[in-house]
């Protein structure tokens, strides 16, 4: 069975500091991993994905994520946080043979001015 | 492209009434998904279609829920009769092909009183 875990419900970071939102996954076979962001009263917006290739994936709005197979992790990172990055972030995994995305419980990121 | 369009944005109905949620996927996308988001259960896949055909409806909670996709540009999710525990945000998403990312609509916030 496929699943992702986001161990932190809430992450607070000061504006300008680097941010990390954690995600670990469990999947049989090669994982297809995604990060989405949800702003208040909005749908989910795609940030980036890992299918294959380089372990460091670059996405929208300056975000990047590092795929680590040995640690089964796919942490989301940004070198310098903006107040506008404050939102709910979801990690998701899809197995290669299916189409369903299994979402984590979400991490609320708050960037403090 | 206008993205995935859902209507209505908000729906308040009385218990026992029929509710119909609507979705227009992005043109050219072969896959359409219906998700439900609640505080308790997070994001759950209800059903998805490929080329207008339902592929996996194992997430549909019970017989009160039904979904149709009569053509490539329109899908409905119907709840009859509705119950207070159906209150949630319902998202529609579409994607072009199997290994691509899904794009989400802004959701329909359903409140059953």
Residue A1 scores a pLDDT above 80: no
- pLDDT tens for A17-63 read 999 999 999 988 888 999 999 998 888 999 999 988 889 999 999 99
Are the beta carbons of B56 and A99 separated by less than 8 Å? yes
% of residues, chain A, pLDDT over 90: 78
* Of the candidates B15, B98, B49, the residue with the CA atom closest to the CA atom of residue A99: B98
Q: Are B90 and B108 in contact (CB under 8 A)?
A: yes
Chain A environment of B55 (Cβ under 8 Å): 99
Q: Tell me, what's the pLDDT at A48? A: 96
Alpha-carbon gap: B113 to the closest alpha carbon of chain A (Å): 21
Q: Which one has a higher pLDDT value, A42 or B52?
A: B52
Q: Cα(A73)–Cα(B89) distance, rounded to whole angstroms?
A: 29
Mean pLDDT (chain A, rounded): 93
Best probe of the B interface among A99, A102, A103, A105, by most B CBs < 10 A, is A99
pLDDT of residue A2: 81
Q: How confident is the model at residue B50 (pLDDT cuts 50, 70, 90)?
A: very high
Residue A99 with chain B: CB contacts under 8 Å: 31, 33, 48, 50, 55-56, 98
Query: Can you tell me the distance from the alpha carbon of B110 to that of B41, in angstroms, rounded to the nearest whole number?
Result: 16
Cβ-Cβ pairs closer than 8 A, A with B, add up to 42
Kindly provide the residue ranges of all beta strands, DSSP E only, lying in B1-113, ordered along the sequence: 5-7, 10-13, 19-24, 31-38, 42-50, 53-56, 65-71, 74-79, 88-95, 103-104, 108-112
Task: Check residue B5 and give its pLDDT.
Answer: 96
Whether A41 contacts chain B with CB within 8 A = yes
User: Is A101 a residue whose pLDDT tops 90?
Assistant: no
CB contact under 8 A, B42 and A106: yes
Give residue B1's pLDDT band: very low, low, confident or very high (50, 70, 90).
low
pLDDT at res. B47 = 96
DSSP for B47-60?
A: EEEETTEEEE-TT-
Q: B7-36: per-residue pLDDT in tens?
A: 999 999 999 999 999 999 999 999 999 999
Q: Do A101 and B45 touch (CB under 8 A)?
A: yes
Structure tokens at B112: 């059953």
What value does the mean pLDDT of chain B take? Answer: 94
- pLDDT at position A28, please? 83
Q: Which of B42, B43, B48 lies closest to A99 in CB terms?
A: B48
A49–B101 CB contact, under 8 Å: yes
> Would an 8 Å CB–CB cutoff place A39 in contact with chain B?
no
CB contact under 8 A, A34 and B99: no
Backbone angles phi, psi at B39, to 5 degrees: -65, -40
């Amino acid at each position: 069975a496929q699943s992702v875990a986001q161990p932190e419900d809430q992450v607070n970071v000061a504006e300008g500091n680097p941010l990390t939102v954690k995600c670990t996954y469990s999947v049989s076979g090669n994982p297809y991993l995604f990060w989405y962001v949800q702003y208040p009263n909005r749908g989910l917006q795609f940030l980036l994905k890992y299918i294959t290739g380089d372990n460091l994936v670059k996405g929208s709005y300056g975000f990047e994520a590092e795929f680590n197979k040995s640690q089964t992790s796919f942490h989301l990172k940004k070198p310098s946080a903006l107040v506008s990055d404050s939102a709910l972030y979801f990690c998701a995994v899809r197995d290669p043979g299916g189409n369903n995305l299994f979402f984590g419980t979400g991490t609320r990121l708050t960037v403090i001015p | 492209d206008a993205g995935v369009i859902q209507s209505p944005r908000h729906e308040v109905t009385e218990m026992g009434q029929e509710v119909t949620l609507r979705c227009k996927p992005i043109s050219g996308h072969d896959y359409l998904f219906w998700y439900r988001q609640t505080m308790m259960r997070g994001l759950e896949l209800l059903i998805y279609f490929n080329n207008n055909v339902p592929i996996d409806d194992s997430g549909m909670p019970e017989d009160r829920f039904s979904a149709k996709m009569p053509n490539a540009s329109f899908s409905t999710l119907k709840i009859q009769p509705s119950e207070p525990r159906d209150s949630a945000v319902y998202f529609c998403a579409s994607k072009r092909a199997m290994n691509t990312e899904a794009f989400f609509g802004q959701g329909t916030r359903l409140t059953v009183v």
